[in-house]
Structure 1
Amino acid sequence: MATYKKRGYKPKTEKEKVEKIEENSTTAEVFNTLDESANKAEDWVGKNQKGIFVIVGLAAVIALGYLGYNKFIAEPKAQEAMNEMYTAQKYFDEAVVGSNKDSLYTLAINGGEGKYGMVDIVNEYGSTPAGNLANYYAGMAYLNIKDYTNAVKYLSDFSTDDSVLGPIAKGGIGDAFVQLNQLEDALGYYEQAISASANDYTTPMYLLKAANVAQSLDMTDKALQYYKRIKSEFSSSDQAKNIDTFIGRAEASN
């Protein structure tokens, strides 16, 4: 059982002196572990007692600075980015439903009417939500004009937790890699699209694409797994309409 010693207690016996030395030695090792720049426990304590007030002061300054940055810099910059992106997004939307797709997608990428394109938004406002979203628009636009390398570049820089946009971005990278004949990479991104979110729209679409690529890579077991998942989990989807044909073809080649 440990013996409690009052503050100011002085060891009397030789044994107690040895114990006191060992105790001080252990304490010094602890302090040295916490701050490798100090050679003695006393140095560490002295430095950190003074530093505590500095750290607290810095924490307050950082907190106030963060709030000030958000209020007076980040929020206005984010709003400015959204305003700047309006015209480029309009071109993109028109390309999706219009007939002159290539020129409209190119305008969405590079800008027009003296306004920024998506690439400009990324370069000027990359740290804002609009800058992040511009990566998605730029990547999908490049994919549609068959510039697959840039499609991969910009879609890879897009990040989101959205249950639809997330899988579509990953799937878009997969589509680009298919066109670049990098099928292993394509399969990996289709699988990321599948795991990113389970929903009735993107999941069966990328299950079918992953299965077809797996089949091309002679990964028949994996292809069958994905085909059968479409049949069992997404039987009402468009991808399930001819799924028995795909399953039969895969089983015949197995």
Structure 2
Amino acid sequence: MATYKKKGFKAKDKNEQNQIDDSKFETAEVFHTLEETATKSEKWIEKNSKPLFYALIGIVVLFLAFLGYNKYIVEPNEIEASNELAFPRKHFDEAATAGSGIDSLLTLGLEGADGKYGFLDIADSYSGTDAGNLANYYAGVSYLQLKQYDKAIEFLSKFNSDDEMLGPVSLGAIGDAFSDINQQEDALSYYEKAASKKDNEFTTPLFLYKAGHTAMALKDYSKAESLFTQIKEKYSKSDQGVGIDKFINAAKYAQ
């Protein structure tokens, strides 16, 4: 503990005088060390001033290059890709309401025509853009409707989105593709992923419902009961929630 010493304080004995002298010596040592360190730092900076300057210039150049790349390459590329997406989207949307000729419309959307890119071209040529990513989704769904399930899985697996709807729907579509080729374990896995991707009143109960029926087909009745019960407890007002009790009971009594 530090001792307060009045002005004009004089050590009472030699030991106390030695303590005072030691304290002064230690303080002097600290200042000497700090001064020595500062001198070494100055010398190091002086010696390496050019490399430091060049490193700073390099950082500035890289930063400016990054800004330029985004402004003059990435942004125009995004706009171009987005514009290219209009043609195949038109045919995709027409296929959704067409009474006939759906396959030809979907194929036009996939492959393009009259010098216009289709989803496949956009996904390949603009792979680093949002439009290129979205083209994978449309290509996957198109192949799913064309019953080309392997290709549907391939392109939907390339698509990545945290969108409230597209994220879950793309995973659920992979589940549908696996279900259609009778790979029910994989279908169940993707339906569960789709259900948990985003919690909302539309996609979550829809894919819990699909997962529940897939679990029933796999005779995993305990899981099916659990999945159907989640719909009852959390999404009872959804379309899937209507009459869900009969599916819960079916799973329960099948065990």
The TM-score bracket by the shorter chain reads 0.7 to 0.9
- TM-superposed deviation, 1:180: 2.1
Q: C-alpha distance in 2, partners of 1:181/1:46? A: 72
Q: SS in structure 1 opposite 2:85?
A: helix
Q: C-alpha distance in 2, partners of 1:180/1:48? A: 66
Residue 211 of structure 1 corresponds to 212
- The correspondence of residues 1-254 of structure 1 with structure 2, limited to 5 A, is 4=30, 6-7=32-33, 52-99=52-99, 100-254=101-255
Residue 26 of structure 1 corresponds to none
The aligned amino acid for 2:254 is S
- TM-superposed deviation, 1:218: 2.2
Corresponding pairs, count: 221
The aligned amino acid for 1:94 is E
Q: Identify the range of structure 1 (48-57 vs 133-142) with the bigger mean alpha-carbon deviation.
A: 48-57
- TM-superposed deviation, 1:151: 0.8
Q: SS in structure 1 opposite 2:32?
A: coil
Rg larger for: 2
Q: Identify the range of structure 1 (146-155 vs 210-219) with the bigger mean alpha-carbon deviation.
A: 210-219
Q: Identify the range of structure 1 (52-61 vs 88-97) with the bigger mean alpha-carbon deviation.
A: 52-61
Q: C-alpha distance in 2, partners of 1:229/1:107? A: 41
Q: Percent identity?
A: 45
- TM-superposed deviation, 1:195: 1.1
Q: SS in structure 2 opposite 1:113?
A: coil
Q: SS in structure 2 opposite 1:238?
A: coil
Q: SS in structure 2 opposite 1:163?
A: coil
- TM-superposed deviation, 1:49: 7.3
The aligned amino acid for 2:137 is Y
Distance 1:72 1:181, change over 3 A: same
- TM-superposed deviation, 1:205: 0.6
- TM-superposed deviation, 1:46: 11
Q: C-alpha distance in 2, partners of 1:64/1:97? A: 49
Q: Normalization by structure 2: what TM-score?
A: 0.79
Q: Aligned-residue CA RMSD in angstroms?
A: 2.5
Gaps of 5+ in 2: 1-25, 37-44
Q: Over residues 166-197 of structure 1, what are the superposed CA-to-partner deviations in whole Å (9 max), with x where a residue is unaligned?
A: 00001011111111222221111111111110
